[in-house]
Amino acid sequence: MNLEAYLAPYAAHSATSRGRRFAESPATSRTEFQRDRDRIVHSTAFRRLEYKTQVFVNHEGDLFRTRLTHSIEVAQIARSIARNLRLNEDLVEAISLAHDLGHTPFGHAGQDALNACMDQYGGFEHNLQSLRVVDKLEERYGAFDGLNLMFETREGVLKHCSSQNAHMLGELGQRFLEKKQPTLEAQLANLADEIAYNNHDIDDGLRSGLLTIEQLDEIDFFARHRREAEAAFPGIGGRRMINETVRRMINTLIVDLISTSGQKIQDAGVQSLEQVRNAPALISFSDAMRKEELLLKRFLRENLYRHYQVNRMTSKAKRIVRELFETFMAEPRLLAPDYQVAGGDPARQARKVADYIAGMTDRYAMREHRRLFMIDEI
């Protein structure tokens, strides 16, 4: 059965895709976007996400989100919304599962530290690194580097891009230069990411004890949904109350996104993907919901991401990344042969070092740091 026959005309269809970088025979039992999803799930970089963190470093507890669980949660939210809007579920799932493949160990702290280290060599940005992973670094096929994903999947992975980098990316970077939109599936994956990490960081923050119910009650969006949970289940408390509250918050955001986006698509009158690209962004929250979401983001930034205990681990993480980079640049012979650059070109060597560090899990980065700096480690 051709499931894509049920998609809206403005959704992304395999048959009208811009295709792959390297020509391949079509799959016999899957759509091309299903094929992309499967390649991502079987990639080395995807497996490593199990031991890369969101907010809490991997060894701090087994119950906190990792990049892997986060990516799965994003994919689930995105698919639910895509089905309601008659968008391509397989494409939105592939983008969601791949969007964090280029993240460094230690979350945003690791990215910030590696970007600072790479400042004179072109910088480091995790969206570009995710693209680099699927285009070049994965080694699964004899005919080409990377995973050879469809254009629309690669486009969705690259959420942000400077004009300087866009010029170097050819067709993939053109939309940033021409101020055009990606597919609705790419727009949707981006907002599903926001829904997932905001609400699940609340859950992790409460679980860790760094946030309290009393603090969160200052945010009307949380307090309102907590009251709903308590009204539905009198006497509820503990983990059940938190889970019921977060579940309701996620549902409210999803319903608002579906309603607002559906109306915007209808008002814009788009009937093709090309019209989507030339329209303003059509997947969005309502103005009222966007304000509530921004208040939630601000609360998390001030009370969780900048909590002194998080800052302590962030400081350690940045030092580990910085010292690894500096040591490998000073002594490339400490690297495995695959990461050593012949001829001593500093820029190429720096990019190789960045690839190596970005591919590390939290615990591998800590172990590698100990091996280099502790006399009793081998």
The closest of 77, 76, 68 to 99, measured between CA atoms, is 68
| Residue type (1 letter), 290 | R
Among residues 287, 104, 81, 108, the alpha carbon closest in space to that of 189 is found at: 81
Tell me how far apart the alpha carbons of residues 14 and 26 are, in angstroms, rounded to a whole number. 10
Which numeric CATH code is attached to 21-309?
1.10.3210.10
> Model confidence over 227-267: pLDDT tens digits?
999 999 999 999 999 999 999 999 999 999 999 999 999 99
Name 363's Cβ contacts closer than 8 Å, sequence gap at least 6.
51, 58, 59
How buried is 1 (Cβ within 10 angstroms: 0-12 exposed, 13-18 middle, 19+ buried)? Answer: exposed
How confident is the model at residue 61, as a pLDDT? 43
Amino acid symbol at 300:
L
Instruction: Answer yes or no: is pLDDT of 376 > 80.
Output: no
Mention every residue, 6+ apart, whose C-beta is less than 8 A from residue 215.
299, 303
Percent of the chain surpassing pLDDT 90 = 79
Compute the distance between CA of residue 82 and CA of residue 258 in angstroms, rounded to an integer.
Answer: 9
Entry pTM: 0.94
Sequence-separated (6 or more) residues with CB below 8 Å from residue 282: 181, 184, 187, 261, 264, 265, 268, 270, 276
Q: Cα–Cα distance between 323 and 303 in angstroms, integer? A: 29
Q: How many residues does the chain have?
A: 378
Domain residue spans of the chain: 21-309
pLDDT digit string, tens, across residues 57-102: 544 444 467 889 999 999 999 999 999 999 999 999 999 999 999 9
Q: What is the DSSP letter of 5?
A: G
- Measure the CA–CA gap between 377 and 43, rounded to whole angstroms: 30
What confidence tens digit (pLDDT) does each residue in 25-42 have? 988 889 999 999 999 999
Helix (H, G, I), strand (E, B) or coil at 20: strand
